[in-house]
Amino acid sequence: MAFYSTIPIFFGYIPLGIAYGLLFKNLGYPWIFATLTGVFVFAGSAQFISIGLLANHASLNEVFLTILFLNLRHIFYGFSLIRRYQTTLLKKLYLIFSLTDETYSLLTVNQLSNKDEDQRYCLYVSVLNQTYWVLGCTLGALLGEFIRFNTKGLDFALTALFVVLTVEQAKKVRRVFPFAIALFSTILAILIYKPQMLFVALAISCTLIGISSQWEAKKNV
């Protein structure tokens, strides 16, 4: 059951992992670090964005803040899983550590009625997904080690991933204002401080959405 449900993720993680591994190898670091990043970080979009950060020798503060904001969405994944993840501490820590976009979307679609079985299911799905991801990263980095591959344009996979996630969100929320806020925040961020535009834009977006919640609440009274 766990294996069958992760098959689509297998087909997503292996090619994306390979793309990451190839791009990572292009930075000139040993391949093993691509594997280690998959093992210890296990965050697709964060790993992709780190390629650019590493290439620019970004400061550790910048890396930390960028990844923090990039993965901010994960904060909201946990809410719906608090009750399902009530298990032994070690298992719980691993389940939380491995809660990627894909694992989250799979687990929220499939839930088993038996609590023990469900927890085992969550754990198997998480382990399988991370295995696929680490495998992909390693394959890509090894491939980059042994053959010369022209990766020009491969980094578009990250842009494409975010476009896909944007479309998924649009289908889910069916509202225009979060996207309007994003556009407005970007323009403002470029005007205010372009070198840190992602950080500034995220802060403005978060504030504006907080404000619009008050507005929406008044409208519904």
Partner 1 sequence: MSNTTYLILTMLAMAIATFITRSLPFFALKNQKDHPVLNFIGMYLPPSVMLLLVIYCLKDVKFLISPFGIPEIFSVTLVALLHFWKRNSLLSIGMGTAFYMALIRTDWL
Least distance CB 3 / partner 1 (angstroms) = 18
Q: Which residues contact 130 (CB under 8 A, 6 or more apart)?
A: 38, 39, 42, 98
Nearer to partner 1, 1 or 180 (CB): 180
Segment contacting partner 1 by CB under 8 A, of 109-117, 119-127, 136-144, 182-190: 182-190
**Residues 126, 98 contacting (CB under 8 angstroms):** yes
Least distance CB 121 / partner 1 (angstroms) = 19
Residue 201 binding partner 1, by CB under 8 A: yes
Residue 192 binding partner 1, by CB under 8 A: no
DSSP 16-44: HHHHHHHHHHHTT--THHHHHHHHHT--H
Binding-site size for partner 1 (CB under 8 A) equals: 88
CA dist 200 and 108 (Å) reads: 32
Residue 18 binding partner 1, by CB under 8 A: no
Residue 193 binding partner 1, by CB under 8 A: no
Least distance CB 185 / partner 1 (angstroms) = 7
Residue 142 binding partner 1, by CB under 8 A: no
DSSP 85: T
The residue within the footprint of partner 1, chosen from 2, 17, 23, 37 (CB under 8 A), is 37
Q: Which residues contact 100 (CB under 8 A, 6 or more apart)?
A: 42, 43, 44, 129, 133
CA dist 125 and 55 (Å) reads: 33
Q: Sign of dihedral through CA atoms 86, 88, 89, 92?
A: negative
Residue 16 binding partner 1, by CB under 8 A: yes
Residue 218 binding partner 1, by CB under 8 A: no
Task: Please report, as residue ranges, which positions from 115 to 134 form the binding site for partner 1 (by CB under 8 A).
Answer: none
Nearer to partner 1, 26 or 186 (CB): 186
